[in-house]
Amino acid sequence: MIARPFLLRRLLELKLIDESAVAALEHDGIVTLADLELALAERRSRVAAPEFARAATALAQEPRPLTLGRAWDIVTALISAIESHCPLVQSAEASGSVRRAEPLVSAIVITGRAVDPARAVDQIAALPLASEILSRAARRLVLLFQGHEIDVRLAAPDEYGTLLFTTTGPASHVAEVIARRGPRLAASETDVYAHAGLAFLPAETRGTRDALARAASRSVPELVDRLHIRGDLHMHTSYSDGRDSLRQMVHAARMLGYEYIAITDHSEHAGASRTLTLDDLARQRDEIMRIREEVRDMTILHGIEVDILPDGSLDCPDKVLAALDIVLASLHEREGHDGARLTRRSVNAIRHPLVSVITHPGNQLVGRRPAYDMDYAAIYAAAAETHTLLEVDGAPSHLDLSGERAAEAIAAGVTLVIDSDCHKAPALDRQMRMGVGTARRGWVEPRHVLNTRSLSEVRAFLARKRAR
């Protein structure tokens, strides 16, 4: 059997096309599901038959989509291989749904810039890591890498903006932008949008309902960026279910240039594999005091991630919480409660004077469980009124609040915090980036996010609620 990209293999198996049609599709550059979706959105004639639209919908569900975290790791590994072994590729980056920070990724696309794209493709094809080439064209390679199909696309620098734009998607957005004034090859995405009479749109916003309207009216704000983030207020250590020691987490955070962090291990009754007893918490406080002596250029706040118990109370006595710098509360266990009861538990915690942050407020588990079906408007209103922060959690299993909910929360006047919820030192930056990407999907700006501010502003915000 000839190795083929997933799309062509499945279309053949479904008997939607025969071998001669495969050649025709390849000739048109339709070899991945993303190509088919774009061709359908642009109403290209070859795929006009309705069965292609039905196949695209069905196939989109088929390949077990990867989490953003897994896709991120695969992309990072392949890009670093390209950067070290393919000097003809000037730069390479993630495109497609990874670039849009979608929680589930159905297709991995990498785009690269090369003065001579055809020769650069030869270099990538020769990488020992690429176990199998599934499809090959002058500026493109579909290959298997770590068992996953990856679409590698190259363009000359003066056409790169168009390639990056079209591969980033989503298909409906690409088709709408191109339909305005026709296609044009451009060096940058800014030029692609300018040609269409639009302001540049950050990749993460392109799938949102109001994206085109904002671009047309030129009301695209500066969104929060990784470089705005001055600290990380949610991470775990080996005191609870984190892999690395407190000291390792502190030093890794310091290497990222953070001005402050909070250590927030799990309270005793959390379902985590290891949790903190009150004795552990006291030992942890002492260790933090010792490390503060060594690390003078970054402030270490001592916090906790406390469970919101079935009756809405917290899994830790108030007098212990009052001695901590920051208190995160989370609704880990549903306990069979319906949305109304979960909402009451959450609002109860929000109204608790010692709770600073509600972490992963909907407790989504990406690909496994949707966010709780709560009355989010009531949660936003209570959070805004009491100066309680709602979190955009960057752990790839959570990514919660979602971009959509983050947009609702800021519209309701809530201040957000973006955290890594990291359980191992090497992932601190990656998870913060995924949190930032998720917030950007909700048009979140630096002014909406507490941890873009200085330590004294952070402390003042936290003190304000306690003083109420």
Give the residue with the Cβ less far from Zn ion, 189 or 305: 305
Q: How many residues bind Zn ion (CB under 5 A)?
A: 3
One symbol per residue from 252 to 291: x for binding Zn ion (CB under 5 A), - otherwise; what is it? ----------------------------------------
CB of 362 to Zn ion, least distance (A): 12
Task: For the chain, count helices (H), then strands (E).
Answer: 19, 14
Instruction: Select 192 or 422, whichever has its Cβ closest to Zn ion.
Output: 422
Q: Decide: is 305 part of the binding site for Zn ion (CB under 5 A).
A: yes
The amino acid present at 120, given as its one-letter code, is A
Scanning 4-12, 102-110, 279-287, 297-305 for contacts with Zn ion by CB under 5 A, the matching segment is 297-305
Q: Which of 102, 189, 421, 429 binds Zn ion (CB under 5 A)?
A: 421
Residue 244 interacts with Zn ion (CB under 5 A)?
A: no
In Å, what is the CA distance from 309 to each residue of 46, 120, 327, 334, 465? 58, 57, 15, 10, 21
Q: Could you say which DSSP state residue 188 is in? A: S
Burial (CB count <10 Å: 0-12, 13-18, 19+), residue 226: middle
| Inter-residue contact 206 to 138 (CB < 8 Å) | no
The minimum distance between CB 228 and Zn ion, in angstroms, equals 22
Tokens 């055809």 — which residue?
A: 118
Q: Beta partners for 231?
A: 260
Q: Which two tokens stand for residue 357?
A: 């942050």
Shortest approach of Zn ion to residue 57 CB, angstroms? 35
Q: Which is nearer to Zn ion, 305 or 429 (CB)?
A: 305
**Pairing of β 140-145 and β 108-113:** unpaired
Give the span between the Cα atoms of 268 and 274, in whole angstroms: 8
List the alpha helices (DSSP H) in 355-449. Answer: 376-386, 403-411, 428-440
The DSSP 8-state label assigned to residue 450 in this structure reads G
- Please, what is the minimum distance in Å from the beta carbon of residue 249 to Zn ion? 12
| b/e map 375-412, b = 16+ CB within 10 Å | ebeebbbbbbebbbbbbbbbbbbbbbbbbebbbbbbeb
Residue number with CB closer to Zn ion (267 or 330): 330
Q: How far apart are CA 100 and CA 211, in angstroms?
A: 13
Q: Which of 135, 167, 208, 330 binds Zn ion (CB under 5 A)?
A: 330
Q: Which is nearer to Zn ion, 149 or 393 (CB)?
A: 393
Q: Which stretch binds Zn ion (CB under 5 A): 72-80, 185-193, 289-297, 303-311?
A: 303-311
Work out how close the CB of 273 gets to Zn ion at its nearest, in angstroms, rounded to a whole number. Answer: 12
Q: In the block, which residue shows the tokens 């266990």?
A: 333
Considering beta carbons, is residue 162 or 402 the nearer one to Zn ion?
402
Question: Which part of the chain contacts Zn ion (CB under 5 A), choosing from 39-47, 61-69, 146-154, 418-426?
Answer: 418-426
Minimum separation from the CB atom of position 243 to Zn ion (A): 13
Q: Does 400 bind Zn ion (CB under 5 A)?
A: no
| Beta pairing, strands 326-330 & 299-307 | parallel
- Minimum CB separation of residue 329 from Zn ion in Å reads 10
Nearer to Zn ion, 166 or 267 (CB): 267
The footprint of Zn ion (CB under 5 A) covers: 305, 330, 421
